[in-house]
Every structure is written in C-alpha cells, then in structure tokens.
C-alpha cells in the first residue's frame, strides 16, 4: 500500500528561499551604473529668505538678488542632496523659479 503524501509536500519549504526574487530582496547594482559627480547647484526662489535659513538648509550659500529673489547655492552636492533641498523649499512653501547646475573649476 502506497504511503499517502503530506498535503504540504508540494509547497515551498519555509526554510528555503523561493527561486525568484521577492519584493523585499535587494538586487545588486548593475556594473554599468555610473555615479553622478558632485557639482554645485543654484536654486532661485521667489522672495528674500532670512540669512538664518542657510544653517537649516545645510551646506548652502544664500545670496539676495536685486529683483527680490534669493539664490541658494548648494556647494559640492550630489543629486540626493539636491532633491533634499527641493523638498525643504517645498516644506517652507517657497516658489522655485530656477534650478541650474553651476560649473566649477574642476569640471
């Protein structure tokens, strides 16, 4: 008489990972991925910010323009830092007028 099979015999064992990637698994970065170089960026916002905001923004230089706008210069920043600065501008309710990469001497 054949032995009856267990009802869970054809299921994936909880002790072995599934043969396909799951959403929570981290996949390695492809070798072809390139890192973005550190650059300076200029963000122009509407209105004049108080100089005390320079410390809140981090590694940023504030300059007031004659037209009443403020230029924030992010020195030696990557794209993640730039994105963080844009989010901080949003959190303050600032109107972003321009965003430009700034050429530095080593580029």
Report pLDDT for 38. 83
Residue 93's pLDDT is what?
A: 93
| pLDDT tens, position by position, 25-79 | 556 666 655 666 788 999 999 999 998 888 888 889 999 999 999 999 998 888 8
Average pLDDT over residues 98-105: 81
Question: Domain coordinates of the chain in residue numbers?
Answer: 39-102
**17: pLDDT strictly greater than 90:** no
How buried is 73 (Cβ within 10 angstroms: 0-12 exposed, 13-18 middle, 19+ buried)? middle
Find all residues with CB under 8 Å of 64, minimum gap 6, and list them: 48, 70
Region 80-89 average pLDDT = 91
The tokens describing 1, both together, are: 């008489």
Higher-confidence residue of 6 and 69: namely: 69
- CATH number 3.30.70 is the correct assignment for the domain at 39-102: yes
Residues 6+ apart with CB under 8 A from 50: none
pLDDT at 11 exceeding the cut of 60: no
Q: Cα(42)–Cα(24) distance, rounded to whole angstroms?
A: 37
For residue 79, what pLDDT is reported? 86
Identify the pLDDT of residue 7: 54
Residues 83 and 43: their CA atoms lie apart, in Å, by: 11
């Amino acid at each position: 008489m054949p032995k009856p099979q267990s009802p869970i015999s054809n299921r994936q064992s909880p002790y072995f990972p599934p043969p396909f990637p799951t959403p929570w698994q981290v996949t390695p970065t492809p070798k072809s991925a390139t890192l973005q170089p550190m650059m300076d960026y200029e963000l122009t916002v509407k209105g004049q910010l108080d100089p005390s905001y320079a410390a809140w923004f981090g590694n940023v230089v504030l300059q007031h323009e004659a037209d009443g706008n403020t230029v924030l210069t992010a020195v030696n920043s990557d794209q993640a830092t730039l994105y963080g600065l844009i989010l901080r501008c949003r959190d303050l309710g600032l109107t972003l007028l321009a965003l430009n990469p700034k050429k530095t001497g080593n580029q």
